[in-house]
Amino acid sequence: MRDRPPADVLGTLLRHVRITTSTFGRIELGAPWGAKLGPRDTVSLHHLLEGEMWLELDGRDVHVGRRDLLILPHGTPYTLRHRPGAPVEDEARWRTPPVPGALSVRRRHGGDGARTVVLCAELGVEGAARAMLMRALPAVMRFPASGSGEPVPGIDRLLDVLREEVREARSGAPLIAARLAELLLLRAVREELERPAAAGSWRAALTDDRVARALDAIYGAPERPWSVVTLARTAGMSRTAFAQRFRDLVGESPFAHLTRWRMEVAKTTLRDHPGRTLGEIASSVGYADEFAFGTAFRRVVGIPPGAYRTAAERPEPPS
């Protein structure tokens, strides 16, 4: 069993993500069937209740069996079929108008052949750590059912209760189902990120005792006046050795990573707290004044913080 870092970097980051929307669907499919799903801003979840299906993503086919769980975090297009090579329809032809106040939709598509039943969910994910975590995840996370034990500890119990809430739609079911989906996603992300990672990746840095201490400090207290020297001291290393090891593992300098994280926190605050002044936000992410903050924000994000807030507040045009 591999050693774990004393700093809980992943735990610190997970406090900076939240599920904002959750929609569910119980889809019954009869062979032959196939659906091409387009790009989206949500994380897609598919839990196979009956039968089997095939996922096509990035030119490869992945078999999905009964009780397997699929999570697709990047919102990239993919295809689901009853067998590889089967004809597909665009998902727009499968859509039905949502029922106001309903927790889920129930749909039936395809032919009269072998039946496949899938519990689907679309999860909106927001927060300062969203971009960083999504970049660290693969295009698809597949957690196969196992007779000898759960692929993710506790995931079967969560799925059982989630299926029950969606099926029975009792009072408070939308809120409970959303919280269950959040727990399900967070456990799956934790399981994925605790797997061995390639050297030179941010994921590999999570298992390095010394760099992990510095990352936990950055993510947990971006408002502190960190420098390479103070971060190196936190990591228990010399300045030169720390800066080189950090760059080797994370892929950028400590200061560049600190700045990027501060801007992610600032973007979330600008969106979620319109009453906070730019000076207050600047102070909360470690800048002495609004001017220094604005300069850094524009350099990293591409627009001034005030313009970013205005764009975030502007309602999207109707489709």
- In angstroms, the CA 246 to CA 251 distance is 7
Q: Which residues contact 219 (CB under 8 A, 6 or more apart)?
A: 9, 12, 13, 16, 129, 261
In 3D space, the residue among 96, 82, 80 whose CA is nearest the CA of residue 30 turns out to be: 82
In 3D space, the residue among 78, 38, 46, 77 whose CA is nearest the CA of residue 64 turns out to be: 46
Residue type, 284: S
pLDDT of residue 151: 60
pLDDT of residue 185: 87
In 3D space, the residue among 267, 23, 254, 33 whose CA is nearest the CA of residue 130 turns out to be: 267
Mean pLDDT across 99-115: 70
User: Does residue 99 carry a pLDDT above 80?
Assistant: no
User: Does residue 49 carry a pLDDT above 80?
Assistant: yes
Residue type, 285: V
pLDDT of residue 149: 52
Mean pLDDT across 165-177: 80
pLDDT of residue 267: 97
User: Does residue 105 carry a pLDDT above 70?
Assistant: no
Q: What percent of the chain has pLDDT over 90?
A: 52
pLDDT of residue 160: 85
User: What is the per-residue pLDDT across 210-248, written as a single tens digit (0 to 9) for each?
Assistant: 999 999 999 999 999 999 999 999 999 999 999 999 999
pLDDT of residue 319: 39
| Mean per-residue pLDDT of the chain | 86
pLDDT of residue 95: 62
Label residue 36 by pLDDT band (50, 70, 90).
Answer: very high
> 0.75 cut: is pTM over it?
yes
Label residue 317 by pLDDT band (50, 70, 90).
Answer: very low
Label residue 4 by pLDDT band (50, 70, 90).
Answer: very low
